[in-house]
Structure 1
Amino acid sequence: MKTLAPYRSLRGISAVVALLAIGAVGCSDISDAVDGAKDGAKKVARQRSVFSLDLGDCYNPNGKAEGTAYAVEIVPCDEAHQGQVVGEFAIDEGKEYPGDDEVSAIADERCPVEAQKYAPDTWALPQGVSLLYYTPTKESWATGDRAVSCTYTAEKGTFSGSLNTAKSLKPEQTTYLEGSNAVYEALWANQPEKDTVEDDLPGYKAQAKAVAAALDAHVEGLGGIEGTEVGKLRATLTKAAGNWKKAANAADADTFYTAYDPAFTGIDPNKSVAARKELGLATTVPADEAEVWAG
């Protein structure tokens, strides 16, 4: 999270100071010290205020990825890094700070949408990255800070290269991804809080209705794309949409369950691998998605 703080000049030890400090040592030790000092100086030179993060910036957090931050190290995207800004927007919430929970709720809702504009194919993301965000705090809000920076950040290790794939996609790839992403967004964004259908049949029926509508739109989009495997997937999803509609219209929990099982199985990500391959998209199901459909 962004935290308002006085400007802090981050200073590193120069190569000359390093040499004076180590005194009379071997050449290899001197070389190591110089290299270390150069690396330190480079990191300092790359420090930028977290308030100045821009879309597309690749960076390394100073310390833990999560928590308050004053500055980050901006690096070229072809170098190893921990995170990249993949979306940004401003919160429009009047003059009063809406509170930490409300700010987080806004970011939770908006960041996935913004991130998909920049990196539409979530299957192509490096393994182990999570969608995090920098948001205003109460203190920074008082200075006019309203910006949210959405990032994909590695939980462990680093990755290389930019995640910006939107501009390189072909029209048919974009059409597929927009439709597919909307289906799973409808599924998870409308997930009822109750664990069982018996406890919230209306909520589960509303979720089913949203998924069915997204599937109808996805199927329509696939109709304009040529390809044998795409055609097979379109037939599979058409059948799945029918089952989601049955679930949405279920009169009771038992009827819902009967329709839900084939409906959920019908949108198993594994069923889209062949079509994705035909379209030239990533074909490895993300681990978290594979786990859900593995049961």
Structure 2
Amino acid sequence: MTIRAPFRSPRGISAVVALLAVGAAGCSDVVDSAKNGATKAARQRSVFSLSTGDCYNPNSEKIEGEALAIELVPCDEPHRGQVVGEFNIEEKGGFPGDEAVTAIADERCPAEAGEFAPDTWALPEGVGLSYYTPTAESWATGDRAVSCTYTKESGEFTGSLKAGAKSLKPEQKTYLNGANAVYDALWMNQPEAENVEEDLEGYKAQADAVATALDAHLDGLRGIEGTETGKLRSRLEETAGHWKDAAKASDAEAFYVAYDPAFTGLDPNDTVAARKELGLATTVPADDAEVWAS
């Protein structure tokens, strides 16, 4: 699973360009255009000034690429992104490279986002995790900051995504922590090779990671009362067995035999009833629905 990662621009550089087109439009249209342009210009901020909770609009339609500045907007107005966490890279010495910086953000940002908005099912459709990271040039000036954001690839959403873990009931937090860890283990350990035959050990390692996460999830579910939660727990206990079989597969054929029911057992549609019982969002994200539908 690819996570988009916009890059930070060199520190101290900012560019604000307001284009006010005056054509054949009527006077009121010209005034409105001028007001909108002036508001957008006044809201321009350096990407280095972003703070957790800030809602913003990128100045480019493209999410990826170097950014010099963003438009900071009130969260109750339509916007494309919100900062959901920040941290500094502790690496010392020279710039470790774009891939290394991205790998650090890949590891840290999901946890930061999970604290800000634990239930990814409650996010607006089309919103995904992205981040601003240092470039080689900004690194040389001392920049080590990473801003984790939820950004909508196209279109806008309104309102803050803030729904911190502290606002959850204990059973909701337990469920989400466990479920999120399972799917993180699945996607974050996905081998690059498309065929199991090309990297059996890599796929077995992924299966082992998922099985371990499932065991932890099941431990949490055993402490939650509820008919539907109990049914889900029983299904996941069987699913965990399939993942363990896949992790111990002696060859690719044995892996495939175990993997099919293991993957099917993680179908998010099978968790809807338990989520409803726990008072959590019940609409399967479109991307997840598409993966399991295929």
TM-score, normalisation: structure 1: 0.89
Q: Give unmatched runs, 5+ long, in structure 1.
A: none
1:225 partner SS: coil
Following superposition, the deviation at residue 12 of structure 1 comes to 5.9
Match of 1:49 among 42, 46, 49: 46
C-alpha separation in 2, matches of 1:146 and 1:62: 23
C-alpha separation in 2, matches of 1:94 and 1:209: 33
2:126 matched residue in structure 1: 128
1:145-224 map, 5 Å: 145-166=143-164, 167-224=166-223
Please give the root-mean-square deviation of Cα atoms over the aligned residues, in Å: 2.3
C-alpha separation in 1, matches of 2:14 and 2:238: 60
Native 8 Å contact 2:196 2:203 kept in 1: yes
Larger-Rg structure:
1
Q: Deviations over 1:164-203 (max 9, x none)?
A: 1124322211111110010111111222222222332222
- Matching residue's letter, 1:210: A
1:38 matched residue in structure 2: 35
TM-score, normalisation: structure 2: 0.89
Deviating more after overlay: 128-137 vs 142-151: 128-137
C-alpha separation in 1, matches of 2:17 and 2:101: 33
Following superposition, the deviation at residue 9 of structure 1 comes to 7.2
Q: Give unmatched runs, 5+ long, in structure 2.
A: 1-6
Aligned length: 286
Following superposition, the deviation at residue 7 of structure 1 comes to 5.1
C-alpha separation in 2, matches of 1:198 and 1:139: 41
1:131 partner SS: strand
C-alpha spacing 1:116/1:144, structure 2 compared with 1 (3 Å): same
Q: Deviations over 1:11-38 (max 9, x none)?
A: 8699xxx9xx99xx9xx94443333322
C-alpha separation in 1, matches of 2:26 and 2:282: 48
Native 8 Å contact 1:75 1:81 kept in 2: yes
1:37-116 map, 5 Å: 37-64=34-61, 65-116=63-114
C-alpha separation in 2, matches of 1:6 and 1:208: 46
C-alpha spacing 1:35/1:196, structure 2 compared with 1 (3 Å): closer
Indicate the structure whose relative CO is greater, using CA pairs within 8 Å and at least 6 residues apart.
2
C-alpha separation in 1, matches of 2:26 and 2:200: 70
Following superposition, the deviation at residue 8 of structure 1 comes to 4.9
Identity between Structure 1 and Structure 2 (%): 67
Are 1:3 and 2:9 counterparts? yes
